[in-house]
Structure 1
Amino acid sequence: MVNRSFPQHRTSSTSRFLLRKSSPFAFSLCLIFIFASSIFVFFFFCARNVLEDEQKPLFPEPEEFPSHSHAKSEQKSVDHLWDAPSSHGFHPCVKPTSRYGAAQTSDRYITVRSNGGLNQMRAGISDMVAVAHIMNGTLVIPQLDKRSFWHDTSTFSDIFDEHHFIKTLRSDIKIVKELPKELESIPHARKHFTSWAGFGYYEEMTRLWKDYQVIHVAKSDSRLANNDLPLDIQRLRCRAMYEALHFAPPIENFGKKLVERLRLRGGRYIALHLRYEKDMLSFTGCTYGLTHLEAEELEIMREKTPHWKIKNINSTQQRIEGLCPLTPKEVGIFLQALGYLPSTLIYIAAGEIYGGDTRLSELSSRFPNIVTKETLATEEELKPFINHASQSAALDYIISIESDVFVPTYSGNMARAVEGHRRYLGHRKTITPDRKGLVDIFDKLEKGQLGEGSSLSDHVRRMHKNRQGGPRKRRGPQPGIKGRARFRTEESFFENPYECICKSKQ
């Protein structure tokens, strides 16, 4: 029994000894095996990747870039934002009717001093063409305003194509470049014609010809009524504004060149008339979002300009009533809510923004693809336009007319003129912000009562569904206002010249 048990005991002890002795060796073998396996796996995957890469082109096709594909998809989803409203078959119609009386030779002259900025003067000149026709007078090329805020020394021929103006209207009125020398020293009738006057008023004014051969009109703006004028007079105003008052060739050619550069940059673009300029903020008394020092500066400026001075102006009330230009920040929120992509190309049609780049950054942080004349053109190209505000504004006008979308942030003279011209040209898309409605939204956002997102977008889009520049009748006076003051509240003829847009052949 002992003999049988001894060998068994020895075998067990030997096994344990051999395991202990071989353990370091086995461990080393294990490490070597793992290392070799790792190298094999590494080379295997490398070889596979090389083979895969050899099957791919060096520059993948566009659809292989997810970001590009996504951008393309995004762009397609906002295409409708660029579509013009339906014109419903309407087109420009400015030919005279069969009842229209052609121009007659006249030895009686009307001289005019056109007041205001570029578009105020353009509307005034167009009105004076109609007045000269009604009164059967020869129109002397108007003198442009050199004394207002802009202090522009430009003459008529510096801004407009004088020859084209005279030639285009020769069937309507006689136009001369200067008053005949022999009439310069004779007594003139100096007249401030009544604002928003009708046809009968100017028929009555022809009595002045009994005593005077020359009538000088001290102001040209708003001399004609918006409504209730004969169709032929309304169409004459359109012929003057849209067909005769072309810009001088240097302005016209350079403006078109800037439009071409914009097209090369992004194809489609928004022209944003960002009227957040010192003169407009001072004129309206709007100080929302400004520092105390900025508000004080605007107050001083307004007090020094007699015809801008408004007593007891309440900046807060002005804003609530929607009478203030949108701020750059508000414009950014508005355009984003409408659905425009951050990559949208935006041309700023305006002068210097009050607060400079700091204030403009409140818009560019949302829409970084912003350009101005200064970024589109060289200093040398812009040199002829420096210190000539009306010529510079003419460039903005051309670029705004040709834009895919026009957005004015305030209903001033340029905004009205561009909107009307775009209607005349086929109801090109013009989005006019509902400033009064938007103020309530902006205030709720600021107070945290509303957040940016789909809910805000839906609301803003609904608000502006019918504010896209489509065909409609001109708005009449605001209710509750009586007397001649009601004419001031009517929609401007040049904002919506619907008498010059029709479905029939003429």
Structure 2
Amino acid sequence: MARARIIKNSFITLTPSPLFQLFSISPFTSLFLSPKKSPRSHQRLFTPQNFAIFFLSLLLTFTFLGVSVLNFIQSYQDPPPCSLISPSSQNPLSSNSAMLFASLASSNTYNEDGHEPAGLANSVLVPLPAQLVAGNLSKEEREFWQQPGSEGYKPCLDFSLAYRRKSAKISKEKRKFLVVVASGGLNQQRNQIVDAVVIARILEAALVVPVLQVNLIWGDESEFSDIFNVKHFKRTLQADVRVVSSLPSTHLMSRQSIENQLPYNISPFWIRARFFKQLNEEGVLVLKGLDTKLSKNLPPDLQKLRCKVAFHALRFAAPIQELGNRLARRMWIEGPYIALHLRMEKDVWVRTGCLTGLGLEYDEIIAKIRESQPEYLTGKLNMSHIQRRLAGLCPLTASEIARFLKALGAPSSARIYIAGGEPFGGHQALQPLAAEFPYLVTKEMLAQEGELSPYVNRSSSLAAIDYIVSLNSNVFVPSHGGNMGRVMQGHRAYVGHWKYIKPNKKAMLPFFDSSISDEEFGSIIRKIHSKSQGQPERRTNKRDRDVTAYPVPECMRKHNTGVF
């Protein structure tokens, strides 16, 4: 019997077997050999090297197919595009504004029994439907009440599969805890609470219900639970971050690092590099001075989380929400109204370095306070009050607001809800506005006897009531920038792009001092603000915009109409 021939090379040594010989004359041979070659040539060319190459190619092919299948499965498991699960676009005039949020159904989390614990579509604060404007109105007056339209944009919080996979672990975290102390007024605190949730997510830590620092300016000692609905806050975020009411007893005696010197524009990478190891070792991290420190440009999932906190999780406490709703309905039932956020409090004039428009006596009072407390003056220290005004850094005075609203087409019969604190100068400060628009209303005028009594010296609660009534208005106008204006801008956009007119002070104030006619002045003002009516505006058009003020495109998408 002939001995088997041993084939050797520098890599492998094989003894051909009958199976190998069978393979060598199989149809697979044609992959390597020309059909013109003789069987002897076939055996010579089908060497172990060729077999190894063929086997490696086969392995790579199956690997590629496997990866493709896995990618297909992953894409299949991702939530469907919001356009596939959203109804057709709803006009703000529709009485069923909540339909806007059907697209959020895919973002909800579910219990094992399939029941929805915290439906996002039902958690957002939606304004009352806008009324149809009737009466003998001019073209400009009708256009003033007209809503800008949402252009098909609707809320869409479609978190990625990777985000949702991580949630299973992060939402059950019991070793690491983040404590955040939020300072300032209501809307400044809201912004810090939003970022606190995001930072807890970045650090994969549980979040202790944020601590609200005592407001030294207004003397407000409210706690989180006095202003916000804690149960709703926890339930809405249960799939994103574990929220606890207090530190567990096992961590009360732990070493607690307190960080109150955070730089601006910090990124998720910076946060993890700075605190992740430390938090793992110590178990507790306390952050203070968080306002505006977190970068405005975050990965998409974290931007969506910001929107989820701002527009869904931060619901006001039931007593505040109920009272705010009652006051809003009392305004709404009488017809369309304007909400005007006045920034004419004493501290605003001190901080901005501007003249009050009330005369020399009042300006001297502000100047003395500013001289005794120069640290209150914010930014542009080398500018005069005239330069500040022309640069758009000063709040509009009552007379400027009146002229601005008239130029935009607001009818003199319009009812105006005044949001904000007591203006410096009291009723005298509002006199120029009341002369042109006599139907000025405040929460004190709307409330019945005793309704506001629980909120004496509770500035944050009163600001929350202003927030609710302002959100329900047909038109919102801030007299100056600030947290209230930005939050209201984003919330009104998120619920259907309700009209929001932000005065372009830098562009329009030079015309206030000119001698042009009222008709020409009105035409100029309307042209300046034709693109500033609350229309959808992409945050990504300019970097460093807050997603809670510009929710398009991270938190809102265009949807196909007529899907349902």
Query: Take 1:365 and 1:289, find their aligned partners in 2: how far apart are those partners?
Result: 16
Residue in structure 2 matched with residue 95 of structure 1 by the alignment: 158
1:170 aligns with 238
1:463 counterpart = 2:528: yes
1:433 to 489, 503, 508: 503
Inter-partner Cα distance in structure 1 for 2:341 and 2:473? 11
Q: Which residue does 2:494 correspond to in 1?
A: 424
Kept after mapping to 2: 8 A contact 1:121/1:220 = no
Partners of 1:366 and 1:233 lie apart in 2 by 46
Measure, in 1, the Cα distance between the counterparts of 2:321 and 2:171. 32
1:56-89 CA-to-partner distances (Å, cap 9, x unmatched) read xxxxxxxxxxxxxxx9222676222112112110
Aligned residues between the structures: 417
State whether structure 2 residue 390 is matched by structure 1 residue 320: yes
Deviation at 1:114, TM superposition (A): 0.2
Q: In the TM superposition, what is the alpha-carbon distance from 1:221 to its structure 2 partner?
A: 1.4
Where does 1:309-388 land on structure 2 (aligned, <5 Å)?
309-310=377-378, 311-388=381-458
Q: Distance in 2 between matches of 1:410 and 1:317?
A: 16
Q: Which residue number corresponds to residue 84 of structure 1?
A: 147
What TM-score do you get using the length of structure 1 for normalisation? 0.79
1:497 alignment partner in structure 2: 551
CA gap of 1:303–1:111, structure 2 versus 1, over 3 A, is farther
How far apart are 1:143 and its partner, in Å? 0.7
Compute the TM-score of the two structures, normalised by the length of structure 2. Answer: 0.71
CA contact (8 A) 2:324 2:465 kept: yes
Q: Which runs of 5+ in 1 are unaligned?
A: 1-70, 478-486
One-letter amino acid of the structure 1 residue matched with residue 360 of structure 2: H
Which residue of structure 2 aligns with residue 53 of structure 1? none
Encode CA deviations 1:462-486: one digit per residue, 9 max, x unaligned.
0000001111122777xxxxxxxxx
Q: In structure 2, give the amino acid aligned to 1:287.
A: L
Q: C-alpha distance in 1, partners of 2:446/2:264?
A: 40
Q: Which moved more, 1:370-379 or 1:188-197?
A: 188-197
Q: Does 1:113 align with 2:175?
A: no
Query: Does the 8 A contact of 1:288 with 1:316 survive in 2?
Result: no
- Tell me if 1:249 matches 2:303: no
1-side partners of 2:172 and 2:453: how far apart?
42
Q: Which residue of 1 aligns with 2:93?
A: none
Which stretch shifts more, 286-295 or 313-322? 286-295
Deviation string 1:131-183 (CA, Å, 9 cap, x unpaired) is: 10010011001110204322211110000000000111010011110112332
The 2-side partners of 1:457 and 1:309 are apart by 34
User: Does the CA-based 8 Å contact 2:353-2:377 persist in structure 1?
Assistant: no
Aligned to 1:216, the other structure's residue is in SS state strand
Q: Is the CA contact 2:182–2:193 (under 8 Å) kept in the aligned structure 1?
A: yes
The answer as to whether partners of 2:143 and 2:409 remain within 8 angstroms in 1 is: no
CA distance, structure 2, for counterparts of residue 433 and residue 440 of structure 1: 13
Q: What is the alpha-carbon distance in structure 2 between the residues aligned to residue 405 and residue 303 of structure 1?
A: 38
1:397 pairs with 2:462: no
Asked whether the equivalents of residues 501 and 533 of structure 2 are also in contact (C-alpha less than 8 Å), the reply is yes
Q: Which amino acid aligns with 1:418?
A: M
* CA spacing shift, 1:307–1:137, aligned 2, 3 Å: farther
CA distance in 2, matches of 1:303, 1:379: 41
Q: Any idea what SS the aligned residue of 2:290 has?
A: coil
Partners of 1:424 and 1:497 within 8 A in 2? yes
The answer to whether the 8 Å contact 2:331/2:337 transfers is: yes
Residue of structure 1 aligned with 2:367, choices 289, 299, 302: 299
For residue 333 of structure 1, report the CA deviation from its aligned partner. Answer: 0.4
Match of 2:10 in 1: none
Q: How does 1:482-493 map to 2 (within 5 A)?
A: 490-493=544-547
- CA spacing shift, 1:257–1:76, aligned 2, 3 Å: farther
1:201 aligned residue: 270
Larger Rg: 1
Tell me, yes or no, if structure 1 residue 188 matches structure 2 residue 236. Answer: no
- Kindly indicate whether the alpha-carbon contact (under 8 Å) linking 2:186 and 2:460 is maintained by their aligned counterparts in 1: yes
SS at 1:96's partner residue? coil
Q: 1:303 to 1:248 in 2, by over 3 A?
A: farther
Q: Are the equivalent residues in 2 in contact too, given 1:197–1:223 (CA < 8 A)?
A: yes
Aligned to 1:240: 309
Tell me how far apart the structure 1 counterparts of residues 551 and 294 of structure 2 sit (CA, whole Å).
Answer: 13
CA pair 320-356 structure 1, distance change in 2 beyond 3 A: same
1:253: Cα distance to partner?
0.5
| Amino acid of the structure 1 residue aligned with 2:146 | D
Could you say which residue in structure 2 is the equivalent of 1:43?
Answer: none
Cα distance change of structure 1 residues 206 and 504 upon mapping to structure 2, 3 Å threshold: farther
Q: Is the 8 A contact 2:176 2:280 kept in 1?
A: no
1:439 to partner: Cα distance: 1.4
Check 1:309–1:72 CA distance in 2 against 1; reply closer, same or farther (3 A cut): closer
1:151 is matched with which residue? 219
Letter of the 2:393 partner, please give it.
Answer: L
Shift of 1:293: 2.9
Q: 1:77 to 1:457 in 2, by over 3 A?
A: closer
Cα distance in 2 for residues equivalent to 1:395 and 1:104: 32
Identity across the alignment (%): 38
Question: Are residue 225 (structure 1) and residue 276 (structure 2) matched?
Answer: no
Instruction: Give CA-to-partner distance per residue, 1:213-272, whole Å, 9 cap, x none.
Output: 110001231132112x111000001111110000000000000100111022x3100000
Shift of 1:403: 0.7
d(CA) in 1 for partners of 2:209 and 2:485?
25
Q: Report the equivalent of 2:517.
A: 451
Unaligned runs of 5+ in 2: 1-133
The CA distance in 1 between the partners of 2:307 and 2:326, in whole Å, is 26
Equivalent positions of 1:101-140 (< 5 A) are: 101-102=166-167, 103-106=170-173, 107-140=175-208
Deviation at 1:455, TM superposition (A): 1.1
What residue number does 2:20 align with? Answer: none
CA distance in 2, matches of 1:306, 1:405: 36
- Residue identity opposite 1:78 in structure 2: E
Q: Match of 2:162, SS?
A: coil
- The alignment partner of 2:365 has SS state of helix
Aligned equivalents of 1:119, 1:173: Cα separation in 2: 22
Q: How far does the alpha carbon of each residue in 1:298-324 deviate from its partner, in whole angstroms, 9 at most, with x for none?
A: 233334556523544521111010000
Q: Secondary structure at the match of 2:304?
A: helix
Secondary structure at the aligned position of 2:339 is classed as strand
CA shift in 2, pair 1:303/1:394, >3 Å:
farther
Question: Which one-letter code corresponds to 1:271 in the other structure?
Answer: A
What's the offset of the Cα at 1:376?
A: 0.6
1:111-136 residue CA offsets vs partner (Å, 9 max, x unmatched):
11101110011011011101100100
Distance 2:263 2:313 in 1: 25
Residues 87 and 253 of structure 1: is their aligned pair in 2 closer, same or farther, counting only changes over 3 Å? same
Hey, what's the Cα distance between the residues in 1 that align with 2:446 and 2:356?
Answer: 31
Is 1:124–1:223's contact at 8 Å kept on the other side of the alignment?
Answer: no
Distance 1:243 1:305 in 2: 39
